[in-house]
Amino acid sequence: MTNESMSKESASAADPARRKRTDEIVDEIKKTIINDNLVPGDRLPQEKDLTTRFAAGKGTVREALKSLEVQGLIRTRTGPGGGAFIESMSETRAMSLLSNYLFTRQISISDIYALRKALEPVVAVSAIENIDKAGFDKLHELIGIYDHEPADDQERWDQRMAELDFHGVVASYSDNVLLAFICHFLQRLLKDLAVCKDIYKRPEPVQRSEGIEFQYRLIDAMRRKDAQKVEQIMTEHMCHAERAMVALQATIDDRFLEE
């Protein structure tokens, strides 16, 4: 880091009022986006117009725009036709930002399943009216990936990912965007969590027949639009999945202690 950049960083750290003003401008720009009905691809007002509108210096406005860009809400382009443009944040980007919050925190399998047991049945019920033939076909296609013993480590890994993708497909048909996002995020945690990766990589025998049976019953209940049955089956399925994951973790922990 250069002396000049260190000096700027120190000045910023010593000037909380400037940072607060930047936050205020960030909030005002967000309001502008909503009030002006701006959509992804639309351009924000030019920098000089923003400085006039918010009675702020160029540096403060630029900091606010940079903050919005880091948040994934805008993107900036230089040169002719450049400027700040509204960006549509992807679900993957949003999950990455949320994962950063949990990066230094200890998350257990039980923590994740405490939420999955509460939310997965609800999201499945909310998907009943929207899921179509393509959705059901995709669910059957995914089951076909893991309805047999894996031939090697790569197939074993692919099977575990497909098991989670099954629930991702169900959630994608939910009419509740927030609920679907949270369920997708929990499924991603199960893919990314170190302890889960250890479980997936171990050649431990996995009894999938009961889990697959739950899924076939779930598909049938969703086809019949039986909300009560869908909720019941998914609740039982999540309890079964948690027990299986916790048992596999215990096996790995015992083996580690023996070694």
DSSP summary character for residue 72: T
User: If one looks up domain 3-86 in CATH, what number appears?
Assistant: 1.10.10.10
Q: Which helix (H) or strand (E) holds 59?
A: helix 58-70
Q: For residues 248 and 199, is the Cβ–Cβ distance under 8 A?
A: yes
Residue 241, pLDDT score? 94
Tens digit of each residue's pLDDT (9 = 90 or more) over 44-55: 988 888 999 888
Strand partners, 84: 76
- Say which residues have a Cβ less than 8 Å from residue 122's Cβ, sequence separation at least 6: 179, 231
Distance between CA atoms of 160 and 67, rounded to whole angstroms? 37
CATH superfamily of 92-258: GntR ligand-binding domain-like (1.20.120.530)
Q: For residues 149 and 258, is the Cβ–Cβ distance under 8 A?
A: no
Q: In angstroms, how far is the first alpha carbon of the chain from the final one?
A: 45
Tens digit of each residue's pLDDT (9 = 90 or more) over 88-118: 777 888 888 788 888 778 888 999 999 999 9
The residue extents of the domains of the chain are 3-86, 92-258
Token pair recorded at residue 158:
């692919």
No. of helices (H) and no. of strands (E), the chain: 12, 2
Give me the mean pLDDT over the 18-23 stretch: 79
